[in-house]
Every structure is written in structure tokens, then in C-alpha cells.
Amino acid sequence: MKKTAAVGLSGGVDSAVAALLLREQGYDVFGITLRLKPADASDSDISDAQAVADRLGIRLIVCDKRSEFEKSVISDFVNAYARGLTPSPCVGCNQLIKFGLMADTAFEQGADFLATGHYAEIERNSNGGCTLKRAQSAKDQSYFLCRLSEKQLSKTLFPLGALSKNEVRSVAERYALPVAHKHDSQEVCFIPDNDYARFVEERLGTPVPNGNFLNSSGEVVGTHSGIIRYTIGQRKGLGAFGEPMYVTKIDAAANTVTIGKNDELFTNDITIQNISTVSGKPLPEALRCEVKIRCAAKPAPAVITPLPDRRAKIVFDLPQRAAAPGQTAAIYSGDTVLGGGEIE
């Protein structure tokens, strides 16, 4: 009997090819598109998703999840910046929205699996368990999926896991998919102009006040333009100090931004909180692993030691640059994703 796969169609080329490949593999396929942004910002993507569905001859369900997205992703994003943090909204969106609410809709509509256009792989074991693996291509997106559980993964398909982006484009062109040449989005989806500060201030309903720049000795050396405009490791927009300076600390309570030299950005250890694991089991003591402290970072060898209250200390073999509080730290063992936590 044929299995049914619901594909999260975003309006982009990756999800379109995912749907195509599953149809070619013999699945009964239908699409789901989430309306997460205001109508004028979502309509073009929804139109593209419908065009893909029409080309493939599959039905498309459009679900309005703006209220839930606002509560669980956008509000957390705004509050994090207001507290001097640098959030990872895509990680939370995957866990709660795409593989949460969208998956619920998929299964209510009779799907056996939810599929997306993410570049990652799922390894299924003979005992019915599964693990999340990095994609072998440079497009690997496993970092953004590190909060998913084994239960979620057991009903998930990633058809693009073994492909490169160029191969995906080629498939789209060969089958004349209408989004074959659509550019990838480079920004957070709900901030298309990439102006985080403007977005956060609009949501807070008030301008974020200026404050003091401090040097490493705690001396006032200038005036910053509001803590939401800075992140750890930032160099641009600080002003002239006679030599390159970088943001090394943000103190929301004191409304200060500390700046220093590049070598002050390196640390041997970090602490993470709100840890979740793919297996659902606690991390073992003194675990040798690799950790990515941001999506573009390389996995760095480290030892992780669990602490109470879903926290852990990570000690790196080599110092890491610009670990930003609020960012996700994804934990790996080789190509296997073990889980992730939030940098304190």
C-alpha cells in the first residue's frame, strides 16, 4: 500500500524538489504551506507554492498559523534582543512550528510522513529508532534541526539529504518547476529587509535607549545606539577608536556594551541551558563531542559535562571566537546530531 507524504512547500526550490522526488519514489504526495507572515509578505510565497503544486498535480493546503508563530517565535525573538541576546529563531520554528503544528496538520490530513526541503539525513535503525545526521553537502542544515526529537524524526523525510544545491537546481530545471531559478532567502523570514533593530523597536512599541560603551577595564569610552543593535563579535557600527574594536559583552540590565580587541573574543568554555537531546535521554558525563556555536561555525572538538536543570558546561580543545549568549549550540558526535542548547 502506498505511503502518503505531506511536503511543507515554502515556495522555494528546495521544498519543490523534495515534493517532486517523493512523487517519483511512489509516495502519494500533497503540500502544506504555512501562512506565518502578514498577508502582503506571504502572498508571493504562497502563490509560488501553489504554482509548484499545480505543476506536480498535487493538492495544497494553506494553514494560517500567524498567531501561533507570533507567540512562540516572534515574541521570543523580540524579547531575546531586548535582553541583550542573539537568538536563533529558525531552530525554535523548526521544533515548534514546522515539525510541530505543521506536522500535526499533516497527520490529521492522513499523511504517514512529513517531508521538507532541509539538507540533512535520517538514519533509521532496525529496532525502529532513528538518528539525525549531517548532510554531506556544504548546504548542511542539521544545525537548525538539532532540537527535533526522535519521535518527530520517526515520521519525517528529508529527500534532499544526499544532494547538493546545484543538483537540486538541476532537477528543478529538468522538470521545469516554476521556482527553479528562485533565489534563496538570506534573511530571517519575518524580517525581509534584515533591519532587526527597527523590527524589534516596532514590536516593543518604544525606542531602545542609548547607553555607554565600556572598555575592558569598565571605563566609559563612548555612547552606543541601543543594545539591540549589537551582537558579540560585531565590529561595524561601533565608531572610531584608533584600532579595530569588537563587541565582547552586552549587559541589558546596566544598558552597557563592552568592546575590546579581537583576542578578547576567544573563550575555552561556555555554559548552555535548556538542553534537549534527539534521543530524549540525558547526556552522559564527560562526553567527547563536537559543538557548533553558530550555524556558520565548524564543529569544534570539546568535552561536555551535564549540570543540574538541563544545563551543561562545554570545554573546547581550542578556544572559540565570539560565542554569543542566546545562540544555539548544536552538539554532534561525528555526523550524528545529539541535541542542542542555548548559550548562556
- Residue positions annotated with a catalytic role: 93, 189
Cα–Cα dist 326/81, whole Å: 9
Q: Which helix (H) or strand (E) holds 103?
A: helix 102-108
Residues 6+ apart with CB under 8 A from 323: 232, 267, 270, 293, 329, 343
Residues 6+ apart with CB under 8 A from 266: 319, 320, 321
Q: Which of 158, 164, 56, 153 is nearest to 115 (CA)?
A: 158
Please give the full DSSP string across 157-188, using - where no structure is assigned: E-TTTT--HHHHHHHHHHTT-TTTTPPPP-S-
3-state SS assignment for residue 198:
helix
Cα–Cα dist 335/41, whole Å: 36
Burial profile 102-114: b = 16 or more Cβ within 10 angstroms, e = fewer: bbebbeeeebbbb
3-state SS assignment for residue 19:
helix
Cα–Cα dist 330/91, whole Å: 10
Contact call for residues 49 and 78 (beta carbons, < 8 A):
no
